[in-house]
Structure 1
Amino acid sequence: MFPNSGSRFPDGGRLTEADYIGAVSDALRTELGTGTGAAKQIQRWTEASDRTARNWLNGVVGPSGHHLVRLARESDAVLSAVLTMAARPELALATDLHAVEVALAKASGAFEVLRRQRTAGR
């Protein structure tokens, strides 16, 4: 029989179900807030019921299987939490780089609009 090594947090501690539920709940609340709109967004992303979405948001239970994958697909915060729990935070860098690229593209577009307005006003 193989020894039970279990999942581990990056600090070397064991990953418990409570830790998992808390990490996903914190990620969802950080990204979406705690209002009714947050639960509705989770429902749209996962096709889960309102009660289930609220339970995930409030840390009562955590999503499993395909629901977790669907959340990670839509939420950078959930994806980052999953990668951190898997002791793979370096993989979260790709999502951070994408966010920077998007922000730079938006800023560049806004700068171009302002430049054109300034040129047209002369």
Structure 2
Amino acid sequence: MRVKMGTVVPKMGTFVHLVEEPTDYRTAIAMALHEELHDTHRAIKMAMRWTGASERTVKYWFSGERGPSGDHLIALARHSDAVLYVVLALAGRHIVEEADD
């Protein structure tokens, strides 16, 4: 059973405040996937194309029951800014965007 997530990951500029004390990798990745791809069957197909993972595996990621590992996580971060920022936040590495003058 897929659980709908109620929390939304902020867009790029406000991302630093997403996870003040990161503790749950699976939930954070699920939130990022929902923010980037929303909650449709098409979103699952897109994540499958990005990673080469099975439909069942991707549904687990969207529900937060399991999290991607290794190659799948890198593939998601390659295609999704939200996933990349979540991984960096969970690692305690925050991106500070500099203003162009």
TM-score by length of 2: 0.73
Which runs of 4 or more aligned residues in structure 1 lie more than 2 Å from their structure 2 counterparts after TM superposition?
none
Please, which runs of 5 or more residues in structure 1 have no aligned partner? Answer: 1-9, 98-122
TM-score by length of 1: 0.61
- The aligned residue for residue 80 of structure 1 is 85
Q: Are 2:86 and 1:89 equivalent residues in the alignment?
A: no
- The aligned residue for residue 25 of structure 2 is 20
Q: Percent identity?
A: 46
Choose which of 26, 45, 51 in structure 2 pairs with 1:46: 51
Number of aligned positions between the proteins: 81
- The aligned residue for residue 5 of structure 1 is none
Please, which runs of 5 or more residues in structure 2 have no aligned partner? Answer: 1-18
1:58 Cα deviation after fit: 1.1
Q: Which has the larger radius of gyration?
A: 1
Return the alpha-carbon distance in structure 1 between the equivalents of residues 48 and 37 of structure 2.
12
The 3-state SS of whatever aligns with 1:90 is coil
Bigger helix share: 1
Query: Does 1 or 2 have the higher relative contact order (CA < 8 Å, sep 6+)?
Result: 2
- The aligned residue for residue 33 of structure 1 is 38
